[in-house]
Amino acid sequence: MKLNPLSDRVVIKQVEAEEVTKGGIILTGAAKEKPEMYTVVAVGPGGFVNGEKVEMTVKVGDTVITGKYSGTNVKIDGEELTIVRQDDILAVVSE
């Protein structure tokens, strides 16, 4: 099943938590800290929101940071995804 976001919405998937610390310690499931970083899975077409034109600045494959409680969580084909408005994205991470 494919999820196509509308308007200025973006579908994101949480980045997996690290299993080994920088010091080499292996973490168990309970000790892993969930990162606040997500990978962009799908991007809406943009358009007009509240009478203002919205240009989409993120693209599929970008790594982004969102607010902790932003968006709507959905489960599609066993995969946990979050749908957020582009305004809920705080930053795009680049290396």
CATH number at residue 88: 2.30.33.40
Give the strands of the sheet with 37-43, arranged side by side. Answer: 72-76, 79-85, 9-14, 37-43, 63-66, 89-93
Quick check: is 38 in a domain? Answer: yes
Q: Give pLDDT, residue 20.
A: 58
Domain coverage including residue 27: 9-93
Question: Residue range 78-88: average pLDDT?
Answer: 94
Quick check: is 1 in a domain? Answer: no
Tell whether pTM > 0.85.
no
Query: How sure is the predictor about 47, in pLDDT bands with cuts at 50, 70 and 90?
Result: confident
Quick check: is 24 in a domain? Answer: yes
**H or E segment at 64?**
strand 63-66
Quick check: is 16 in a domain? Answer: yes
CA 49 to chain centre: 20
If one counts every other C-beta atom within 10 angstroms of the C-beta of residue 44, the result is 18
Query: How sure is the predictor about 28, in pLDDT bands with cuts at 50, 70 and 90?
Result: low
Arithmetic mean of pLDDT over the chain: 85
DSSP assigned state of 52: E
Q: How many domains does the chain have?
A: 1
